[in-house]
Structure 1
Amino acid sequence: MTNKEIERRLQLLEDVEAIKNLKNRYCYWCDANYDAANIASCFTEDGIWDGGSFGSYNGRAAVHKFFAEDAPKLLLFAMHMVMNPVIEVTDQTATGRWYIFEPVTFADGKKAGWLAGYYHDDFVKVNGEWKYKHLRFRQYLSTPFSEPWLKTKFGPE
């Protein structure tokens, strides 16, 4: 194996780890009472946050506004647990998929519940740092904590 091949493989590993770290920071700041400034900093200036039934917001300023004003009115508490990342890097762009499972407190009625779904994200490397170009969240289920999700399932089928 040549030095160039080793450098390419090392860069790929570093990029994958940096993207995982970006997802971890995003989740941490969501769970830290929706730290809108830090969440928005994860996106490119024209980045898109597409939360499916939660809405879609184009541009860093719109993402910031959503997390500062609207998200706290939807979920009073959330603990993002993301798992099973599949990340594909092509030079300065990448895609990633994660499952998500989270305990939540729905603002409507202050009910404890479960939320599960997946992320499908597009990333771009800007000045050596990975950012979200397009984050997509799709919900599998949203249900009260006190009932099995087969009994009372909100959201997409």
Structure 2
Amino acid sequence: TVGGALDRLIDMREREGRHLAECVAEYLQSFEALLGRMALRWEERRDVALGEHRKKLSTLLGDCLTDLDRNRVAQEIAILADKWDISEEIVRSGGHIRQFRSIADGASSEGRKLDFLIQEMNREVNTMGSKTADEEFRWMVVEAKNLLEKIREQIQNVE
């Protein structure tokens, strides 16, 4: 009967929806864990990178700097360090994850809002990638982008 066919269709769509939600949750959890590893890697590498830049500048400039010049170089290094800092992107990504979960767990998940949040997370990850030359960190960026793409593909099926 038509009623039976509709009931089976509804059951099938509910099962598919549950499976979709499980996949997205798993990918999002993996992304969140990776984000934590990226933050740790950044913390490990930040001071090393600053030390390397200080050493290079000292070698290049040698004894030709006055104390005033040395203070200016220290200021410039501090400015560069701020430009390299990815903590803001990490924090914003965490906020996007919480917002994503809130929308996804709601009574009516909205695919467009979820897609927008994935775009925002991608922007944050791209910015992090552009701020570091660390090879291991860059591989983490690629992995993060792959996870976000998997989530995006799944939420394309959300109505």
For normalisation by structure 2, the TM-score amounts to 0.29
Structure showing greater relative contact order (alpha-carbon pairs closer than 8 Å, 6 or more residues apart): 2
TM-score by length of 1: 0.30
Higher strand share: 1
